[in-house]
């Protein structure tokens, strides 16, 4: 089992394993290496008899800003999920993204409790990762949400509905809003929100309370609770969501978004997407030429 990771810092102290997403120069944006190293780090902690609880956090200015899409959208990297490969093969797209979904769900499947600590932002794919953990504590001024739900994405882990219920989950996904830690706590999305200067201490307090419980007790309790959601069809929901994520990136509106990112830059395309203006007005030129806009 790997002991050193390039995108994740791993350390253990007094029954607590701390996993730190470590691409701070890219706001811990997800690339395939980070996605693949995360379950290896989780498995390392799961197999360590000296670890009773895991804390997941991000280095630098925030937890995780999502997928590394600046290069992806502007540079047209070749791969099964890129818009430039036509005709598009949805099964290859699904296979690639399902691998990431399963990697993130290693937090859910781990036999030990996982606490996610969020400062800065847990946006898009970053929220996918965070919501797979058992408990989340945020800074009051941190934000969480899935803006690509407006166009070009569907959250593949789809943990929103299981954490929030049907109406609030729809509110978050129909708007793509980023909400603060305090709003997330009020909504019931996370366990707790605290002032930023109290975040480390609050997470440590919870980890300290849990770490004294025997590993077998923690495992049995976590498995029992998780099984209730597994029986609701969690995996089926995620399979649909992961397939739809690929569809969203290949819809006419998704193609417009990619074209706009190429023309104006990814940050400008995101600004326009999230402005509230009707996205249908900016469909791809190919779509318009077909007379379908």
Q: Show the domains of the chain with their CATH numbers.
A: 8-250 (3.90.226.10)
Are the C-beta atoms of residues 142 and 122 closer than 8 Å to each other? yes
pLDDT of residue 88: 87
Q: Which of 58-62, 79-83, 227-231 has the lowest mean pLDDT?
A: 79-83
Q: What one-character-per-residue DSSP string does the chain give?
A: --S--SSEEEEEETTEEEEEE--GGGTT-B-HHHHHHHHHHHHHHHH-TT--EEEEEESTT-SB--B-HHHHHHH---STT-TTSSS--HHHHHHHHHHHHHHHTHHHH-SS-EEEEE-SEEETHHHHHHHTSSEEEEETT-EEE-GGGGTT---SS--HHHHH-HHHHHHHHHH--EEEHHHHHHHTSSSEEE-GGGHHHHHHHHHHHHHTS-HHHHHHHHHHHHHHHHHTTHHHHHHHHHHHHHHHHHSHHHHHHHHHHHHH-HHHHHHHHTT-S-GGGG--HHHHHTT--
Q: How confident is the model at residue 166 (pLDDT cuts 50, 70, 90)?
A: very high
109-145 pLDDT tens trace: 999 999 999 999 999 999 999 999 999 999 999 999 9
Q: Quick check: 238 pLDDT over 90?
A: yes
Percentage of residues in the chain having pLDDT higher than 70: 88
Lowest mean pLDDT among 2-6, 31-35, 99-103, 151-155: 2-6
What is the structure's pLDDT at 258?
Answer: 87
**Nearest CA to 179 among 238, 108, 131?**
131
- Whether the per-residue pLDDT at 168 is higher than 50: the answer is yes
First-to-last C-alpha distance (Å) of the chain? 53
Radius of gyration of the chain (CA): 19
Q: What is the pTM of this model?
A: 0.92
The dihedral over CA atoms of 171, 98, 133, 107, expressed in degrees to the nearest 10, equals 180
């Amino acid at each position: 089992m790997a002991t050193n990771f390039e995108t994740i810092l791993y350390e253990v102290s007094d029954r607590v394993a701390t996993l730190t997403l470590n691409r701070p120069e890219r706001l811990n944006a997800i690339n395939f290496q980070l996605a693949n190293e995360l379950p290896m780090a989780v498995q390392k902690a799961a197999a360590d008899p000296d670890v009773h609880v895991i804390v997941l956090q991000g280095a630098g200015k925030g937890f995780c800003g999502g997928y590394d899409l600046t290069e992806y959208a502007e540079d047209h990297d070749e791969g099964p999920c890129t818009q430039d490969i036509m005709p598009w093969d949805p099964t290859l797209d699904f296979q690639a993204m399902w691998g990431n979904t399963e990697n993130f769900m290693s937090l859910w499947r781990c036999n030990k409790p996982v606490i996610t600590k969020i400062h800065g932002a847990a946006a898009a794919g970053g929220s996918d990762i965070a919501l797979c953990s058992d408990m989340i504590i945020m800074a009051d001024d941190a934000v969480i949400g899935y803006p690509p739900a407006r166009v070009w994405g569907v959250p593949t882990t789809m943990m929103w509905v299981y954490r929030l219920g049907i109406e609030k989950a729809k509110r978050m996904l129909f708007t793509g809003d980023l909400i603060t830690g305090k709003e997330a706590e009020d909504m019931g999305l996370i366990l707790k929100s605290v002032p930023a200067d109290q975040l480390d201490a609050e997470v440590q307090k919870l980890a300290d309370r849990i770490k004294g419980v025997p590993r077998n007790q923690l495992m049995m309790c976590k498995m029992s609770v998780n099984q209730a959601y597994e029986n609701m069809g969690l995996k089926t929901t995620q399979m649909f969501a992961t397939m739809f994520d690929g569809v969203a990136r290949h819809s006419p509106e998704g193609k417009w978004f990619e074209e706009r990112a190429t023309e104006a830059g990814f940050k400008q395309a995101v600004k326009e997407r999230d402005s509230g203006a009707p996205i249908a007005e900016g469909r791809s030129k190919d779509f318009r030429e077909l007379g379908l806009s």
